[in-house]
Structure 1
Amino acid sequence: MGLILGKIKVETPKYELLHSSDDYEIRHYSPSVIAEVTYDPAQLRGDRDGGFMVLAGYIGALGQPKNSKPEKIAMTVPVITKSPEKIAMTTPVVTRGGAGEVTMQFVLPSKYQKKEDVPIPLDERVVIKEEGERKYGVVKFSGVATDKVVEGKVDKLKACLERDGYRVIGEFILARYNPPWITLPPLRTNEVMIPVE
């Protein structure tokens, strides 16, 4: 019932709130370890998961973990998506993209402090990386994170950050905290995050 109502009961990344206003928050995130898959959305041919199933297989969310131990790795949220162009519609994952490619990421549980702590993926498409400390301007919203909605949130957030003297230093990421196939749209938690200096 909690998933339907949008209740978040899994680990989320640790951050320090540096500033809060009516328009946005500035957050400082601790280092983390991520698992990611890069793909070309134009080549999915009806496979709409965009790499989610590959990452879910790695952590063992759908059965036997596809990693060297094999060790079941707890799911965390958000799933982050980053793309300089269109946003791939996926469940909670991180997505980065360029030249038509998108990268979907799972932030791994905080017990994994270094890349070496993490079980090795059996699927060569899964890449393990460390992300250092980072600072983001963040706006939270509910509903369905369509391209049009996200574009509006990004434009408004950038304008507010620049108005208040923050320097944007990279592309936005979309963070989704709830499974879209289970959680009612008005109860979903989404965030647009823009890296700032």
Structure 2
Amino acid sequence: MGQVLGKIDVETARFEVAQSCEDYEIRRYAPAVVAEVTYDPSAMRGGRDGGFSVLADYIGALGKPKNAGTEKIAMTAPVITAEAAAGATVITTGAGGAVTMRFVLPSKYGKAEDAPAPGDERVVVRDEAGGAFAVVKFGGVATEEVTAEKVEKLRRALERDGCRVTGPHLLARYNPPWTLPPFRTNEILIPVDF
């Protein structure tokens, strides 16, 4: 029942709040190990969320894990979605722009080589550097329209405050799809020079 009402009862990405203001906060995230898949949403069942099942299969959230040793890996939060980086290998092609979906693996995996190797060649496990991000939190369903609105508002606030943006935004979603929309936790993260 707790997850339906928005309770987050899994390990979350580690960070420290460096600064808070009315419109956003600046966080310093610790390095982490991530599993990710890059794909064209128009060519995947599930659209923008089409990569979820590929990553869920890797950790064993939907059955037997598809990784070396079939090691079950605990689910964490948030699930992160971003526009694919230039030069990323896209597993499917279609009419849209590629996205990357990422699971942050549990902190017990200190380095990428500590995590089980994926059994699916579409999954990439890698070390993710920490860094500074401007973050705004919001509830409800993170549609493309709502996300674009939150990104634009955060970018304007950062520009107003003289904070230099260093990369594209990330969408972080903390709850499973069965969480009632008013109780969902979502965040927009924009990397900044801080």
TM (norm. structure 1) is: 0.89
Q: Distance in 1 between matches of 2:188 and 2:37?
A: 20
Deviations 1:120-173 (A, max 9, x none): 001000001111121100000001111111111111101111211210010000
Give unmatched runs, 5+ long, in structure 1: 85-98
Give unmatched runs, 5+ long, in structure 2: 85-95
Name the structure 2 match of 1:43: 43
Name the structure 2 match of 1:22: 22
Does residue 170 (structure 1) correspond to residue 167 (structure 2)? The answer is yes
Name the structure 2 match of 1:89: none
Amino acid at match of 1:60: G
Name the structure 1 match of 2:92: none
Amino acid at match of 1:139: V
Does residue 160 (structure 1) correspond to residue 157 (structure 2)? The answer is yes
Name the structure 2 match of 1:65: 65
Tell me the CA shift for residue 47 of structure 1: 4.2
Amino acid at match of 2:185: T
Amino acid at match of 1:103: T
Name the structure 2 match of 1:7: 7
Name the structure 2 match of 1:76: 76
**Could you say what secondary structure the match of 1:122 adopts?**
coil
| Of 123, 127, 139, the match for 2:124 | 127
Q: Distance in 2 between matches of 1:57 and 1:148?
A: 29
TM (norm. structure 2) is: 0.90
Does residue 151 (structure 1) correspond to residue 143 (structure 2)? The answer is no
Does residue 100 (structure 1) correspond to residue 86 (structure 2)? The answer is no
Alignment of 1:174-189 (within 5 A): 174-180=171-177, 182-189=178-185
Does residue 109 (structure 1) correspond to residue 119 (structure 2)? The answer is no
Count of residues in Structure 1 that have an aligned counterpart in Structure 2 = 181
Amino acid at match of 2:12: T
Amino acid at match of 2:184: R
**Could you say what secondary structure the match of 2:122 adopts?**
coil
Q: Percent identity?
A: 62
Q: Distance in 2 between matches of 1:122 and 1:59?
A: 10
Relative to 1, partners in 2 of residues 1:23 and 1:42: Cα closer, same or farther, differing over 3 Å?
Answer: same
**Could you say what secondary structure the match of 2:70 adopts?**
coil
Q: Distance in 2 between matches of 1:170 and 1:122?
A: 31
Name the structure 1 match of 2:55: 55
Tell me the CA shift for residue 34 of structure 1: 0.3
Amino acid at match of 1:43: A
